[in-house]
Amino acid sequence: MQSIPNRDPERAYDAIGVTYETSCPDYTTHLQDVLTKVTDDLVPGSKVLDIGCGTGKPAAFHFVNKGHDVIGIDISQKMVDVASSQVPEAKFFKADMTAFQPPEAGNYDAVIASHSLYYLSLGQLRMMIYRFSHWVKQGGIVLVGSSLKAEAIEQQTLKFDRRGWAEGVEGSFLGHKFDYTYGLVDAWRVLLQDAGLEVIDVDQRHCTPVGSDKKDSHIAFFMTTRKIVDNALLGPHPVPRVLPDPLSLEYIDSSVSADFEQRIARKEISAIVDLVKNGGYKKVLVIGSGAQGI
């Protein structure tokens, strides 16, 4: 298999194609076992969104056989083509997950992302988890699968930040080079909980691609979560039902306001005001400024 040195996930997975299934049976078996547990929480006819659907097996294939409606997306056209041929009952699309906007946000019963989030920056990853929670209905399931290289954990060669994340880690998979974002299990747990997702199960085991030696073994884990909030965009905090009226200046202590205005950089504020005026903006929301005349 030809290596793609420029860390292009789309081209890499176009090249990997259906060989992924035969190269990674440990990962497939692990996901299948987890899906069997997830299915118990879904009624027939549930709507499932599969992010990074790959070849369509086992995830889309499993859900279709259980009578669910499945939409899958993948960055690789080759993967989409393979999935469409293997699971014709589902709908598959080529899409960059960071730009994808589902037609029915908030209506999905389950969102699945199995080992498809490594290639995002930490900022993108956080954004996607909040989107998953936004796309699934309250009480719905979000299932995320990731892994950590076992040797790197044992020898402590991965440098995690204080939150438990390691970003931009060079690595390879099936002969293709990538930059990975890794997170410890507890770091994932915090991220998911911040997005209003309650972790209800963690399934962890060692997985190794066929033909690889022990140093390529990964500690793979799936975190099954349930959405417990109304609106994921504010994490565990619901959107206010009624917004308060703007605070009138008559309630502001004038002495405090005057002192504040003396200390702020008036030139910078004037420059911002000029920029807004020249840009033709009609409505401007100013947050946290007690200065009058802005």
**CA count, 13 A, side-chain hemisphere, 290:** 16
- CATH topology assigned to domain 9-234: Rossmann fold (3.40.50)
Please report which confidence band the pLDDT of residue 218 belongs to, taking 50, 70 and 90 as the band edges: confident
Looking at residues 118-129, what average pLDDT do you find? 91
Burial class (CB in 10 A: 0-12, 13-18, 19+), 263: exposed
Q: Quick one: pLDDT at residue 223?
A: 97
Residues forming CATH 3.40.50.150 domain(s) in the chain: 9-234
Looking at residues 173-180, what average pLDDT do you find? 71
Residue 17 pLDDT exceeds 80 = no
Question: Could you tell me which residues are beta bridge partners of residue 223?
Answer: 144, 202
Percent of the chain past pLDDT 90, that is, above it, reads 41
What does pLDDT average to over the chain? 80
Percent of the chain past pLDDT 70, that is, above it, reads 73
Predicted TM-score of the model (pTM): 0.74
d(CA 124, CA 120): 6
Residues near 40 by beta carbon (within 8 Å), at least 6 away in sequence: none
